[in-house]
Amino acid sequence: MRVLILGADGYLGWPTALRFSVRGDDVLALDSGVKRRWEQEVGALPLFPTLDFRERAARWRDAGGAPVETVVCDLCDYPALAQVLRRWRPDAIVHFAEQPSAPFSMMSVERAVLTQTNNLVGTLNLLWGMREACPQAHLIKLGTMGQYGTPNIDIEEGFIDIEHKGRRDRLPFPSQPGSFYHLSKVHDSHNMRFACAAWGLAATDLNQGVVYGIETVETGPESEQGGSFHYDAIFGTALNRFCVQAAAESPLTIYGAGAQKRGFINICDVLDCIEIAARHPARPGEYRVFNQFTQVFSIAELADLVADSAGRLGLRTTTERLANPRSEAAEHYYNPVADGLKALGLTPRLLTPEFVETMLRAIAPHASQIDLSTIRPATRWR
């Protein structure tokens, strides 16, 4: 296939580009570089050094990897994006090119507007560009399980069958997003669904859980190709942050009682899901949704797992309860469905103490570079 990766310089984007390259597909990796600028602005730098976007591609080629073409382009620049689409004519488009952080979107009016402008305008430009230049392409966009919120019913995959006053219909599952970032993802989904219905485009929304892990088969533990691993309170995710705190023998910071439940997924499973979606594309005119997670944990359960694993490695670990900076239920029902990708062949990698130990061992040599001041939340919803 001819595959276009948008947001290819990131934690998920670059490993995905390498995955398709290894599989023998022609890959064009696109990024604007704006995420690195945002990281600098808020002082949230990745733990492991990452090469420049184009330098990574050059090193990959020099090491014998299939060439990955790179292009610097902002999705909010429609003429530039349309030119890329007309030239590349992709079969599949994997869309990571969005501001990915709920705390970032809640920092100020400027960053809330930036988040929604970047995400909505970029995706809307992409849909129009596909209509004009490559209507046959299959769009695979990274969504979020956070679109659903925590309703007091089972969370289905994108749609729900309802009966109302004697009539039945299949409708989009109600959205209860918890930040301006999550709201942007909801708006994206509506635009995608409409574009598929109106223009016959094909799209898959992957509503993803919280990702954890450091390397993939393609990036490898000793490779220069590693992704952007964050542990801070802005761009870091829960398990990654706990592992960094444990490696630094700093208390694991739990928001509130820690009873909040979320879906979680290994970074390697993310790549498998994206490849599965690409190999089994949606039909023309079809907008489909897969819930992309493999296990559900409460935050306190994650902290206990990390603390136990750290203890086996001789690390002294405690926990600290912080006032929850977010507006969310302290305890809630949470039973989401995730059957679609498994039916297409996903074999989940489950989170085990042994896996946590491999993360701790990988982080340990970099413990002196950990900036603990970036971990405590500075952004509050209220």
Give the CA distances from residue 76 to residues 131, 222, 235, in Å, rounded to whole numbers and listed in that order: 16, 35, 22
- Backbone phi and psi for residue 151, each to the nearest 5 degrees, phi listed first: -70, 160
Tokens of 232: 């801070």
Name every residue whose Cβ is closer than 8 Å to that of residue 135 and which is 6 or more positions away in sequence. 199, 200, 201
Active site residue 144: yes
User: What distance in Å separates the CA atoms of residue 143 and residue 162, rounded to the nearest whole number?
Assistant: 23
User: What distance in Å separates the CA atoms of residue 364 and residue 191, rounded to the nearest whole number?
Assistant: 44
User: What distance in Å separates the CA atoms of residue 313 and residue 258, rounded to the nearest whole number?
Assistant: 24
Active site residue 117: no
Give the CA distances from residue 258 to residues 252, 253, 299, in Å, rounded to whole numbers and listed in that order: 11, 10, 5
Report the length, in residues, of the chain: 382
User: What distance in Å separates the CA atoms of residue 286 and residue 200, rounded to the nearest whole number?
Assistant: 7
Catalytically annotated residue among 11, 185, 294, 379: 185
Does the CA dihedral 13-18-23-25 come out positive or negative?
Answer: positive
User: What distance in Å separates the CA atoms of residue 356 and residue 306, rounded to the nearest whole number?
Assistant: 7
Residue type at 378 in one-letter notation: A
The residue ranges of DSSP E strands in 7-137, in sequence order, are 26-31, 68-72, 92-95
Asked whether 105 and 99 are in contact (CB, 8 A), the reply is yes
- Backbone phi and psi for residue 335, each to the nearest 5 degrees, phi listed first: -140, 75
Tokens of 105: 């979107």
Catalytically annotated residue among 16, 50, 123, 144: 144
Instruction: Supply the residues annotated as catalytic.
Output: 144, 181, 185
